[in-house]
Amino acid sequence: MADANDATLLRKIVDRWMSGRPKLLVWDFDLTILNTHAFSEGVEVDEVADRWQEDIADVELFRAFVSAALAQNATVGIASYGRREVIAEYMQHVFADNCPFNGDNIVTPQALGLPDGTSVPAGKPQMLELLCQRATPAGCDRSAVVFFDDDPDNVRDCLAAGFARAYHTPDGFTAQALEGL
């Protein structure tokens, strides 16, 4: 459990990032939300319950961002080349009965007509565009999208596609990583 100083720092970080009132917050999954690569490790749905707490890079920060986004009527999403059902299982454990991640806001290659686990060249901009179309309200402007990814190529592709608020988090989505941006 975080102490008061940790909670204050967390609140400051979230407030700073949410001050631009993004309409859509999106995270990559493996090595961004997670501190491991569940897809390459072959994590199965039935294994998530025993490992999710140690696999999430910074669960309190992630929960705080999602909560702040929803409080501002923003949409949240995950854009990953991994397996949708594994991602959904992790999210179910992170958020329990109040899980804001469902079929529409977890986008994997399957949503682009490809098998999950397929790396799609310049696929992250396509995934972000699909999440924009599915956002409420639909069709959010690319400048209102905040995206976090551990892969610099994905971030570069998103920036080139007009998603100006794409951020490289090589050490995952953690308070320390965000303080350094």
Per-residue pLDDT of 35-50, as tens digits, reads 999 999 999 999 999 9
On the 0-12 / 13-18 / 19+ scale of CB atoms within 10 A, 73 is exposed
How much is the pTM?
0.93
pLDDT of residue 135: 83
Cβ contacts of residue 115 below 8 Å, gap of 6+? 109
- Between CA 84 and CA 108 the distance in angstroms is 6
pLDDT of residue 85: 96
Mean pLDDT value of segment 77-102: 95
Does 1 score more than 50 pLDDT? no
- Between CA 136 and CA 50 the distance in angstroms is 34
pLDDT, tens digit, 9 for 90 and up, residues 121-162: 879 999 999 999 988 766 678 989 999 999 999 999 999 999
Closest CA to 163 of 109, 112, 122, 125: 125
pLDDT of residue 122: 79
CB 59 within 8 A of CB 66: no
pLDDT of residue 5: 56
Does 165 score more than 80 pLDDT? yes
Does 2 score more than 90 pLDDT? no
Mean pLDDT value of segment 16-30: 92
Closest CA to 24 of 70, 56, 83: 70
Mean pLDDT value of segment 79-108: 94
CB 14 within 8 A of CB 65: yes
Number of helices and strands (H, E) in the chain? 8, 5
